[in-house]
């Protein structure tokens, strides 16, 4: 009997604590053929629990693993669940952990007597922040979504076209206070605290060396769910470069809360020779409320979370677009305005 778990724990009475994490290597198999893990008599049952807001274990990696296994066999017994749990940057609400652990335990029980091919699902819960200025939301609500693939969670897109252009070097973004404010391991959660830590808030609407821009006011409620990406046209000189992105939800009172982020290493030796760059985001399930705006930050340095590039370079970007998958089956387009310092 073989199992492959990523962040799994049984449904304990106190299920608010994340369990240990380990990766198990997968082996290729042809569609329709059984290819067990080494030493196993059947395909590994795989339960993947990843975190929308834990940037040390990004959902994009679990989605890639899910899609890879399903490409080998559409009925491979693999299940994925994503929610606002994990390291310090996540809220780790006990109700959320309990629901995830109950689902994980059900997956174990359904496979405990032997693996069997099955149609499985991707399960998602939203990030709902206590400090999002919305007093009407139920902070413990599940708002559960399911799909047969990660892509099935969304049915439409929201595109924001941001104006202007910018030029970076390997030092651009150094000293940005929002880097420390959004680090996954800072600050630490107080053990035993009954109140989840607030979602990360921006302390600098603009910063020298960083491109920042705001969308126009969103004229309806939009449910962002999935990964999304930032697309830019670019010209780069030097050995390598790095482009880091943060996406913020800005309330009418100006409070900006981190929604997601992403990073891309530009390497001409790997074929990055200019043109259009697509920077994948880590994703989330997030309610964008009527009257809010979406801010994007771009730079080459996002410390202490990411190790910055060390090779001298110049990176020129323009024609900046943010594309977010939405639950609603609509194609929305919004304009933006640059606010860089």
Q: What are phi and psi of 70, to 5 degrees?
A: -70, -25
Q: pLDDT at residue 206 above 80?
A: yes
Specify the CATH number of the domain 156-338.
2.60.120.260
Q: What percent of the chain has pLDDT over 70?
A: 76
3-state secondary structure of 336: strand
Higher pLDDT, 16 or 300: 300
Question: Mapping DSSP to helix (H, G, I), strand (E, B) and coil, where does residue 29 land?
Answer: coil
Question: For the segment 280-316, what is each residue's pLDDT rounded down to a tens digit?
Answer: 999 999 999 999 999 999 999 999 999 998 899 999 9
Length of the chain: 341
Give me the pLDDT at residue 184, please: 83
Both tokens of 209, joined, read: 């060396």
Span 125-133, mean pLDDT? 82
Q: Which helix (H) or strand (E) holds 297?
A: strand 293-299
Residues of the chain with CATH 2.60.120.260: 156-338
d(CA 159, CA 195): 35
Q: What is the DSSP annotation of 166-182? A: EEEETTTTTT-HHHHHT
Rounded mean pLDDT, 258-283: 94
């Amino acid at each position: 009997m073989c199992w492959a778990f990523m962040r799994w724990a049984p449904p304990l009475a106190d299920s608010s604590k994340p369990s240990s994490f380990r990766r198990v290597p997968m082996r290729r198999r042809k569609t329709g053929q059984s290819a067990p893990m080494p030493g196993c008599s059947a395909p590994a049952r795989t339960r993947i629990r990843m975190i929308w807001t834990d940037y040390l274990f990004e959902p994009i990696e679990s989605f890639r693993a899910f899609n890879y296994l399903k490409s080998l066999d559409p009925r491979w017994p693999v299940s994925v669940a994503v929610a606002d749990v994990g390291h310090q940057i996540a809220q780790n609400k006990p109700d959320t952990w309990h629901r995830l652990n109950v689902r994980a335990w059900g997956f174990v029980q359904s496979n405990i007597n032997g693996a069997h091919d099955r149609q499985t699902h991707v399960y998602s819960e939203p990030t709902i922040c206590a400090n999002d200025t919305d007093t009407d939301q139920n902070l413990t609500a599940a708002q559960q979504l399911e799909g047969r693939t990660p892509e099935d969670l969304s049915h439409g897109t929201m595109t924001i076209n941001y104006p202007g252009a910018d030029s970076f070097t390997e030092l651009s973004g150094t000293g940005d206070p929002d880097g420390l404010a959004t680090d996954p391991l800072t600050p630490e959660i107080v053990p035993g605290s009954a109140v989840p830590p607030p979602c990360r808030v921006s302390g600098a609407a603009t910063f020298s060396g960083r491109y920042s821009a705001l969308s126009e006011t969103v004229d309806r409620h939009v449910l962002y769910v999935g990964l999304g990406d930032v697309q830019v046209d670019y010209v780069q000189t030097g050995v390598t470069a790095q482009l880091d992105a943060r996406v913020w939800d800005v309330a009418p009172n100006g409070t900006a809360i981190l929604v997601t982020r992403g990073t891309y290493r530009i390497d001409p030796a790997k074929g990055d020779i200019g043109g259009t760059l697509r920077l994948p985001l880590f994703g989330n399930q997030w309610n964008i409320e009527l009257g809010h705006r979406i801010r994007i930050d771009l730079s080459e340095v996002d410390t202490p979370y990411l190790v910055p590039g060390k090779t001298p370079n110049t990176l020129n970007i323009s024609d900046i677009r943010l594309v977010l998958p939405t639950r609603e089956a609509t194609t929305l387009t919004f304009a933006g305005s640059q606010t860089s310092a």
